[in-house]
């Protein structure tokens, strides 16, 4: 199976493609441009099946989809220093290893587009275009509550005592992530993925996944945004997580994009992972294809990767002179995670390592997979799912006045935050003490 090894970064990335044979890059068609579907969100590279199998794309482009760190079949220990900058560097290293030159990036989630845009900043001219989004709402009171809900669900999933408990929590996850648009077979696939990727026995992996979701969302500064100087498509939608308004705000800040960033507005209420939902996948692909076809009309030279130059840019942007003493060959040297957060994450992984030793494993001793989610929930929980979906909307939409004022005073909308998992770490400490 195709992997890309980055030994200096202690990680091996898995990928799937539309190429013949085993799908490895050795079968690349050099006459075609390449599309990279980067780092799926709540799912691994299998979530891009709609795009990999769409003949409009597969007949004209080399298509690659990657499992990110702590996702799918990608292997490597947790990295407390990981952020959007380090993800950007590792993706460019992958492109170099595979010999991929003329590349369009499709970054369809709220934290992956942050790394894709940083690729364009650190390695100007290395990629042809970026399709990003939908663009998530700013860290207002609604987003604060959404984050707390997600952290709570992640904690509960990762500390479940049995498969039934995990399934109970998954019922709550589905409407939050996908609304009512996920079909039954996709629910089965997603449930199996979560149950085998992030069970209590793999708690460190679950924590790293959560770290990426909450910690890799630091928005670009105006100075950084102005350094993005390649064609950009922003998907936009109004739902619980994303807003058209924020896409328009980012569009205005991307002042270096030739001709300005383009916006494609998805149907109202479409989920963030619209490219995975069959109902929306076709329209997402249509918009993306129209965008990259226009980009491809103008021949472009690709600038070779220069890690040294990228590290110099990173050092200047960070405002941290001490960064210059790090080894630029290692991706974590590009990290902007502060020492306090780094220490907190390291402590969290120590706790998680202890906790997972006694964690529940839904996979049987002989590799038996958990039962299909639909065996229990196909009909029984339709009404419950609907009621939970409504309650989530209420929970994140209604804030008492005193809570609203607290949220505004403690979490300014524009302030950069590292969305840490300290609450989960505290919960794990309590569980360990209860032993």
Predicted pLDDT at 272: 86
List per-residue pLDDT tens for the chain, 435 residues long: 699 999 999 999 999 999 998 899 989 998 999 999 987 666 899 989 999 999 999 999 999 999 999 999 999 999 999 999 999 999 999 999 999 988 999 998 877 899 999 999 999 999 999 999 899 888 788 778 777 777 777 778 778 888 888 888 888 777 767 767 788 888 898 889 989 999 999 999 988 988 887 777 889 999 999 999 999 999 999 988 899 999 999 999 999 999 999 999 999 878 888 898 899 999 999 999 999 999 987 767 788 899 999 999 999 999 999 999 999 999 999 999 999 999 999 998 999 899 899 899 999 888 888 888 888 765 555 555 455 444 443 333 333 334 334 333 333 333 333 444 445 445 445 544 544
Predicted pLDDT at 264: 98
Predicted pLDDT at 406: 35
Which residues have a Cβ under 8 Å from the Cβ of 368 and sit 6 or more positions away? Answer: none
Predicted pLDDT at 173: 73
The segment(s) of the chain belonging to CATH 3.40.50.1820 are 3-138+218-334
Predicted pLDDT at 318: 95
Phi/psi for 130 (5° steps) reads -135, 125
Torsion of CA 319, 321, 323, 328, to 10 degrees: 100
Q: Is the peptide bond before 134 cis (omega within 30 degrees of 0)?
A: yes
Is 203 in contact with 356 (CB distance < 8 Å)?
A: yes
**Residue 70, by phi and psi: left (phi above 0), alpha (psi -120 to 50) or beta?**
left
> Facing residues of 106 across strands?
37, 131
| Token pair of 358 as six digits | 């006694």
Is 306 in contact with 49 (CB distance < 8 Å)?
A: no
CATH architecture of the domain 3-138+218-334 equals 3-Layer(aba) Sandwich (3.40)
Q: What is the pTM of this model?
A: 0.85
């Amino acid at each position: 199976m195709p992997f890309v090894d980055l030994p200096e970064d202690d990680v091996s990335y898995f990928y799937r493609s539309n190429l013949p044979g085993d799908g490895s890059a050795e079968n690349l068609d050099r006459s075609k441009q390449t599309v990279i579907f980067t780092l799926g969100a709540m799912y691994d590279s299998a979530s891009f099946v709609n795009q990999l199998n769409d003949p409009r794309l597969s007949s004209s482009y080399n298509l690659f989809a990657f499992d990110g760190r702590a996702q799918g079949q990608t292997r490597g220990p947790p990295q407390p220093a990981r952020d959007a900058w380090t993800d950007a560097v590792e993706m460019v290293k992958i492109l170099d290893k595979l010999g991929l030159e003329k590349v369009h990036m499709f970054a369809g989630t709220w934290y992956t587009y942050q790394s894709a845009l940083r690729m364009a900043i650190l390695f100007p001219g290395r990629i042809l275009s970026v399709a990003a989004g939908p663009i998530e709402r700013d860290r207002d009171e609604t987003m604060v509550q959404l984050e707390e809900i997600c952290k709570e669900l992640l904690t509960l999933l990762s500390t479940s005592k049995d498969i039934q408990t995990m399934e109970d929590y998954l019922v709550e996850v589905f409407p939050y992530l996908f609304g009512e648009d996920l079909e039954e077979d996709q629910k089965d696939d997603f449930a199996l993925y979560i149950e085998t990727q992030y069970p209590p026995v793999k708690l460190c992996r679950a924590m790293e996944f959560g770290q990426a979701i909450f910690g890799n969302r630091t928005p670009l500064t105006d100075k950084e945004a102005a350094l993005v100087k390649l064609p950009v498509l922003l998907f936009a939608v109004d739902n619980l997580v994303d807003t058209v308004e924020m896409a328009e705000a980012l569009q205005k800040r991307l002042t270096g994009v030739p001709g300005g960033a383009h916006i494609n507005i998805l149907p109202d209420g479409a989920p963030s992972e619209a490219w995975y939902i069959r109902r929306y996948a076709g329209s997402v692909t249509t918009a993306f294809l129209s965008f990259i076809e226009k980009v491809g009309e103008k021949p472009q030279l690709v600038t070779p990767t220069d890690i040294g130059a990228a590290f110099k840019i990173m050092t200047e942007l960070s405002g941290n002179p001490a960064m210059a003493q790090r080894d630029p060959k290692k991706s974590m040297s590009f990290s902007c995670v502060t020492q306090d957060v780094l220490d907190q994450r390291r402590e969290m992984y120590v706790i998680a390592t202890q906790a997972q030793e006694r964690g529940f494993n839904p996979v049987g001793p002989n590799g038996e997979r958990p039962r299909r989610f639909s065996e229990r929930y196909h009909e029984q929980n339709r009404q419950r799912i609907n009621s939970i979906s409504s309650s989530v909307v209420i929970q994140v939409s209604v804030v008492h006045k005193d809570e609203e004022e607290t949220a505004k005073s403690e979490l300014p909308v524009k302030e950069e935050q590292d969305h840490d998992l300290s609450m989960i770490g505290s919960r794990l400490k309590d569980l360990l003490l209860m032993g």
